[in-house]
Amino acid sequence: MAVILIYPLILCILGLVVWVAYLVSSPSQYDGPPPGSGKGTVLVHVLVLGDIGRSPRMTYHALSIAKHGGIVNLIGYLESPPHPDLLNNPNITISPLPSPPKRPQSIPFIVFAPWKVLLQVYHLAWLLAYGLEPAQWILVQNPPSIPTLAIASLICRLRNTKLMIDWHNYGWTILSGTRGAGHPLVRLSKIYECYFGRLGFFHLTVTHAMARQLRRPPYSITQPMIPVHDRPASIFQPITNPSTRREILIRVLPDAEKALVPRLLDGTMRLVVSSTSWTPDEDFSIFLDALIQYAATSDTTPTPVLAIITGKGPQKAMYLDQIAALTAAGRLPNVRIATAFLPFADYAALLACADLGVCLHMSSSGVDLPMKVVDMFGAGLPVAAYAGYESVGELVKEGGNGRGFETAGELAGILVHLLGDEGKGELERLRKGAVKEGKRRWDEEWDGKVGIIMGLVS
């Protein structure tokens, strides 16, 4: 009961704070390009309530706007190092937000969350209303939705700015993954997101499926909307010269696995790569069970496999213990599982050397897509991907550039087939499909869509 009462109260306080700020001195409005810049210069505030260094899509938006002569203020947290091209670009200014406070163990979520949101409202509203020049566009990433959607739509109204919402996913579905679908906070954030989502001037989505869904209740968005698919960064490229494979493997494989390089090169051992956040929404047990079943295949002796798992996360230690126990018990013959945490460039090179990528992404909304598969295709790597959600077919084409699975048994079957002699031809076909898919890059996707809408590309 207390929960239900706290939130309307907080919304009232927020409303009051913003209203008072508005009354005290109303912000200037956008009426043409900033003085001194060329006629027709487009000023865009790109806003993400997250770490800029880990927001690749907003980084690409900013770089694309700047490349076409737009002036960008990129607003977000400065935690990990941002993409170097952002820092070197004269058309981009980073306007950092103070990092959000971390919740101390002793303070309950229900007390801490509103406090954190209030701080964010204060910093954001001030920056967008007074700290920065009024812009022609605010391009905001959703999620996080709270409080960005509310603040951005209010500021846009006050400053005569157009709001473009870039839908990566939904905040409330992510929250329901951690809090449970019936939690009052989840219901409230769904109402919030549906209401403020309708205040955009233009909408971008990561899939066609998401665009279709946003047109229907409960979202019921009526403004113009286009899907802009994610594309691989230029660092992800297939290997053009096979002789570099050896050199790359020796450089990037963990020390304990370097002795396996000759077997990987002559094909008597296969290399499978997966990257995981080691959280329950990427259920690693599916992959582990599949490898156990693969090792136990009785009709043929399976080709030995080296599986490299990259990424950091909470369940990593637990699974490493399980893997060690299974290996010691002899349940993973012909399968070697190793973990690695690689610099970005080495990860990209490793993908280009692998035989198959495995993706365990389970979409909370059912309509987003895993960036890691986009990157695998960029490196020319075919994938076996969890396929139990609506939008997966917009990226992974069954039998074209990869294979889909929903259970460990299905994944084991795919591994037996594609890594064995019998599946060699098919794997080669999938690889060609992956290379083809990965050739389509961000610029093509962006210039003809967002560039035209923003008036940067004619």
Ligand X SMILES: *[C@@H]1O[C@H](CO)[C@@H](O)[C@H](O)[C@H]1NC(C)=O
Provide the binding-site residues for ligand X, judged by CB under 6 A.
Answer: 66-67, 69, 89-91
- Which residue, 41 or 339, has its beta carbon nearer to ligand X? 41
Q: Residue 84 or 242: which CB sits closer to ligand X?
A: 84
Closest CB 92 distance from ligand X, rounded Å? 8
**Please, what is the minimum distance in Å from the beta carbon of residue 77 to ligand X?**
23
Q: Select 92 or 348, whichever has its Cβ closest to ligand X.
A: 92
Q: Of the two residues 69 and 131, which places its CB atom closer to ligand X in the complex?
A: 69
Give the nearest distance from C-beta 112 to ligand X in angstroms.
Answer: 40
CB 242, min distance to ligand X, A: 35
Least separation, in Å, of the C-beta of 83 and ligand X? Answer: 13
Identify the CA nearest to 133 among candidates 247, 248, 45, 234.
45
Q: How far is the CB of 367 from ligand X (least distance, A)?
A: 32
User: What is the distance between the alpha carbons of residues 399 and 382, in angstroms, rounded to a whole number?
Assistant: 10
Minimum CB separation from ligand X for residue 128, in Å? 23
Measured from the CB atom, the residue of 66 and 158 that comes closer to ligand X is 66
**Smallest separation (angstroms) from ligand X to the CB of 91:** 4
Beta strands in 41-156 (DSSP E): 43-51, 71-77, 92-97, 137-142
C-beta of 51 vs 85, nearer to ligand X: 85
**Residue 337 pairs with which residues in a beta bridge?**
307
CB of 89 to ligand X, least distance (A): 5
Per-residue CA distances from 253 to 51, 223, 259, 297, 349 (Å): 29, 49, 10, 27, 11
Residues 6 or more apart in contact with residue 360 via CB below 8 angstroms: 274, 276, 282, 283, 284, 286, 287, 386
Closest residue to ligand X in the complex (CB): 69
Compare residues 84 and 217 and give the one whose CB is closer to ligand X: 84
Q: Identify which of residues 90 and 104 has a Cβ nearer to ligand X in the complex.
A: 90
CB within 8 Å of 87: residues ≥ 6 apart: 94
Q: How far is the CB of 393 from ligand X (least distance, A)?
A: 35
Q: Which is nearer to ligand X, 91 or 327 (CB)?
A: 91
Nearer to ligand X, 46 or 353 (CB): 46
